Amino acid sequence: MYPKQMRYTKEHEWVSVAGGVATLGITDFAQHELGDIVFVELPEIGRQVKTGETLGSIESVKAVSEVYAPAAGTVAEVNAALTDAPETLNQDPHGAGWICKLTLADPAEIDKLMDADAYESFTVK
């Protein structure tokens, strides 16, 4: 159910790394739990973040949820399309619904995250 090439956090974010840059978003589980997403607060490009620091937030008809940095780094890019179409997070959370890209301070940090099988087991609890 969850893409095998990605890593996952206990806060329900996914991470895909290529060349020291991590693309991240929320998982299908997270978007399902949130319900219809109506607003996304994106991080500022160039912002340096520490592991676990809040990057932004997602507002749905049910709740507001924070998005956390899965690793330390610098925000390199944001998915500005989410500003006008936040529902993309519901429609394609592991693809077009990516939130931002981080230039990682230490790419090895990603290895500490869950793989797809571990995340799937985590969400069944």
- Asked if residue 66 has pLDDT above 70, the reply is yes
DSSP run (H or E) holding 65: strand 64-68
What is the arithmetic mean of pLDDT over 9-27? 96
Q: Which residues of 88-99 are buried (b: 16+ CB within 10 A; e: fewer)?
A: bbbeebbeebbb
Residue type, 2: Y
- Asked if residue 65 has pLDDT above 90, the reply is yes
- Asked if residue 1 has pLDDT above 90, the reply is no
Long-range contacts of 46-49 (CB under 8 A, 24+ apart): 46/74, 46/75, 47/74, 47/75, 48/72, 48/73, 48/74, 48/75, 49/73, 49/74, 49/75, 49/102
Taking the C-alpha atoms of residue 51 and residue 23, their distance in angstroms, rounded to an integer, is 15
Nearest to 109 by CA among 9, 39, 11: 9
Confidence of residue 72 (pLDDT cuts 50, 70, 90): very high
Which residue has tokens 């806060």? 11
Reading the block at residue 105, the tokens are 């301070």
pLDDT score for 100: 98
Q: Options 2.30.110.10, 2.40.50.100, 3.30.379.10, 3.30.465.10; which CATH number does 7-108+115-120 get?
A: 2.40.50.100
pLDDT in tens, 91-122: 999 999 999 999 999 999 999 999 999 999 99
What is the arithmetic mean of pLDDT over 12-34? 96
pLDDT score for 109: 95
pLDDT in tens, 33-62: 999 999 999 999 999 999 999 999 999 999
pLDDT score for 123: 95
The number of CA neighbours under 13 Å toward the Cβ of 51 is: 13
Confidence of residue 125 (pLDDT cuts 50, 70, 90): low
